[in-house]
Amino acid sequence: MISLNDLRQFKAQGRKFSCLTCYDASMAKVMQVAEIDSILIGDSLGMTIQGHDSTLPVTVDDMVYHTQAVRRANQHAFIMTDLPFMSYATLPDAIANARAVMQAGAQMVKIEGGAWLAETVTHLTRNGVPVCMHLGLTPQSVHVFGGYKLQAKTREAADQLLEDCHALVEAGAAILLLECVPAQLGQEVAETFPHIPVIGIGAGNNTDGQVLVVQDMIGLTTGKLARFVRNFMTEQSGASAILDAFRAYHQAVQDKSFPAAEHTFQVEL
């Protein structure tokens, strides 16, 4: 089973690592065969599984249920689980809800926000809960942002995100996840923190790992896709197409052919 220390070693070795969202045992089994390095049980399940138009209705009980299903079926990948909307607004809530998903099988929790969550990160870490901090476009704050938009588009905004990263790493954050930010900023964050794995989604190909929503990368999402999505199913055929798509994604992350220029936001900072 891949551990947090393995992800740190991958970064030290310059080996890119793959991550996909997963919510059920069937997909988790195929991801194990494909040797996907990390799995995120994301609150994106609110949209992909439950049919909501945002992640906000997802509950801690939902996250526990899906984490249990994935962990039963996959003993290879490093498993992270989202704490959903408002479930870590207070320290007692953060501790209780982190305990629930860790006992369900997660190896790390992911929460969204900036430096204001430093105290929460410290308390979770002291209590044995590794924390991944999600910055940039944070879907739980979609109503604050006014939609799903590119973040940190100016030097000032990029510097603020870097300041948040410094505060959170100092507080104990073990992984940083950047969503929908300029590629230059993704590279800058990854280089600024040599001992902290940085995962990107729409953050260029110079982060240490990449994550995609599984339904997006196998073509199960209708309508307009985000710029940073690549459909790996279009390159496969036959009975093992999904497995082959996962393998192709894993390889593309490692050799840096994904994300390519067309999946990347280039902005002068």
Contact criterion met (CB below 8 Å) for 174 and 257: no
Pairing mode of beta strands 38-41, 209-212: unpaired
Q: How many other CB atoms sit within 10 Å of the CB of residue 198?
A: 24
Query: Given this model, what pLDDT does residue 40 score?
Result: 98
- For residue 95, the tally of other CB atoms under 10 A from its CB is 17
pLDDT for 147 equals 67
Q: Is 23 exposed, middle or buried (0-12, 13-18, 19+ CB in 10 A)?
A: buried
209's enclosing H/E stretch is strand 209-212
CATH architecture of 4-263: Alpha-Beta Barrel (3.20)
Q: Is the pLDDT of residue 171 over 90?
A: yes
Select the more confidently predicted residue: 239 or 64. 64
pLDDT of the residue at 145: 63
pLDDT (tens digit, 9 = 90+) per residue, 25-71?
A: 999 999 999 999 999 999 999 999 999 999 999 999 999 999 999 99
- The residue from 112, 163, 179, 191 that is catalytic is 179
Question: Tell me: the pLDDT tens digits for 104-131?
Answer: 999 999 999 999 999 999 999 999 999 9
pLDDT band at 142 (very low <50, low <70, confident <90, very high): confident
Is 179 designated active site?
yes
